[in-house]
Amino acid sequence: MESGHYLSSNPESAAVYEQLFALYVQLHDAFGGVATTDLSHVMKDLLRIQREQSKS
C-alpha cells in the first residue's frame, strides 16, 4: 500500500490522513501476517492525533 495518493485542498486534513494511513498500513500488515510489528504505540498515536485535532 502506498501513501501519498490522497488529494485534498486542505493541507491539514491531508497531513492527518497521512498519519492515519501510516497506522492503518502497520495494522493491516501485522494482522494480515505480512509483517511482525510492535503495535504498542498505535493507540497512543491515535489518541495524540485526536488531541491535536480537538485543539484545532
Q: Report the number of distinct structural domains present in the chain.
A: 1
pLDDT of residue 37: 87
Answer whether residue 36 is part of any domain.
Answer: yes
The size of the chain, in residues, is 56
Answer whether residue 2 is part of any domain.
Answer: no
- Exposed / middle / buried, residue 38 (Cβ in 10 Å: 0-12, 13-18, 19+): exposed
Answer whether residue 6 is part of any domain.
Answer: no
Whether 3 shows a pLDDT value over 60: the answer reads no
pLDDT of residue 1: 55
Answer whether residue 34 is part of any domain.
Answer: yes
Q: Per-residue confidence at 6, pLDDT binned at 50, 70, 90?
A: low
Range of the domain at 50: 11-55
Answer whether residue 1 is part of any domain.
Answer: no
pLDDT of residue 20: 97
How confident is the model over 8-52, as pLDDT tens digits? 788 889 999 999 999 999 999 999 988 888 999 999 999 999 999
